[in-house]
Structure 1
Amino acid sequence: MTHAKSALAALSIAGLFLASTPALANASAQANTHTLTIKVDGIETPTGRMMIAIFQGAENYRVKDALQGIRPTVSDNTLESEFSDLPEGDYAITLFQDVNGDGKLNLGKFGIPVEPYGFSNDALPKLGPPQWDDIRFSVSEDAQTQTIKLR
């Protein structure tokens, strides 16, 4: 798979969650839930929305079934958002900046994204979407932060 196709495949994960992501059901009733802060750096154009999806477990990432999705407004060169009431477990984050506000990741020639994107652990796509092991992190305590630099 080419780098362009790999970036497209990886970023489509973030775009697909917008129409079908369920809310986290009954999370507040679960014991041991935590808050995760997402910090996005490298925002060159502070416009539009950041489309952020969080996946719980390797299988959900593989089939593009996001646990939660948020769409905070971008108004500065950095952005912080939170996912709350997360049960302990392994997660991954995909995101892109919807600069023009059309609700989708825009692509240029050869399917290369023209809007900024990123992944947890600041992973880069390599011959396909980043692998689960490259973007996986554990949530097991409060006050955790994932910092992602837009590409």
Structure 2
Amino acid sequence: MKNQIKICGLVLSVLGCIALTQNAIAQNTGKINIEIEGLRNQQGEVCLNIFSGSRGFPSDSEKAVKKQCFPITKRPLTVTLGGLKYGSYAVSVYHDQNGDKKLNRDSLGIPAEGFGFSNNPFVGTAPAKYREALLIVAGESTNIKIMMKYSINS
């Protein structure tokens, strides 16, 4: 009988540890609250791509770990993307004024719609690099601001 009690106690301890471990793993996710400033107007929507590595950054949404578009209800616009495992990410955003779910460009390849990146890196003749837009999600909530950029001709 004593052995059965010891075994039951051991089993309950192991099950308790498993439950605590699973709970801790489930809590190792956070969200990014993104305030988007500098939108020219409320036409169309804002689309975001979140990347967990440089592969595909900034424009290949198929390689993004999260992607979502939001209607522009006010300016500045604040959106939240959750369920992100703790780690490093970079965010790219574009103002999809015509609703075609892509960043339109002119004949020279210059963006015809607004765009931006986490950390607001300087953008010259090439888009930002992943390392320039890198941010860390290590808690329940990470707050960032992205300033939209528009070309002179857009």
Q: What TM-score, normalized by structure 1, do the two folds share?
A: 0.73
Q: Which residue of 2 aligns with 1:113?
A: 111
Structure 1 pair 80/62, CA: closer, same or farther in 2 (3 Å)? closer
- Quote how far apart the aligned CAs of 1:127 are: 4.4
Deviation track 1:100-137 (CA, whole Å, cap 9, x = no partner) reads 22222222241211210000101133443312221001
Amino acid paired to 2:29: T
Within the candidate set 11, 27, 31, 1:31 is matched to: 27
Matched AA of 1:93: V
Q: Distance in 1 between matches of 2:113 and 2:55?
A: 27
Structure 1 pair 108/63, CA: closer, same or farther in 2 (3 Å)?
closer
Shift of 1:30: 3.1
Q: 5+ residue gaps in structure 1?
A: 1-28
User: Any conservation in 2 of the 1:47–1:75 contact (CA below 8 Å)?
Assistant: no
Instruction: Give me the identity figure in percent.
Output: 26
How is 1:1-151 mapped onto 2 (pairs within 5 angstroms)? 30-59=26-55, 61=57, 64=60, 65-151=63-149
Q: Is the 8 A contact 1:53 1:70 kept in 2?
A: yes
Give the structure, 1 or 2, with the largest relative contact order (CA under 8 Å, sep 6 or more).
Answer: 1
CA distance in structure 1 between the aligned counterparts of 2:66 and 2:50, rounded to whole angstroms: 6
Verify the 8 A CA contact 1:43 1:76 in the aligned structure 2. no
Give 1 or 2 for the bigger CA radius of gyration.
2
Q: 4+ runs of 1 displaced by more than 6 Å?
A: none
The aligned amino acid for 1:55 is F
CA separation in 2, counterparts of 1:95 and 1:108? 18
Q: Which one-letter code corresponds to 1:129 in the other structure? A: P
Structure 2 vs 1, CA of residues 103 and 121 (structure 1 numbering), >3 Å: closer, same or farther?
same
1: distance between equivalents of 2:29 and 2:83? 5
Unaligned ranges ≥5, structure 2:
1-24, 150-154
1:32 maps to a residue whose letter is N
Show the counterpart of 2:3: none
Cα displacement (A) at 1:62: 7.8
TM-score (norm 2): 0.72
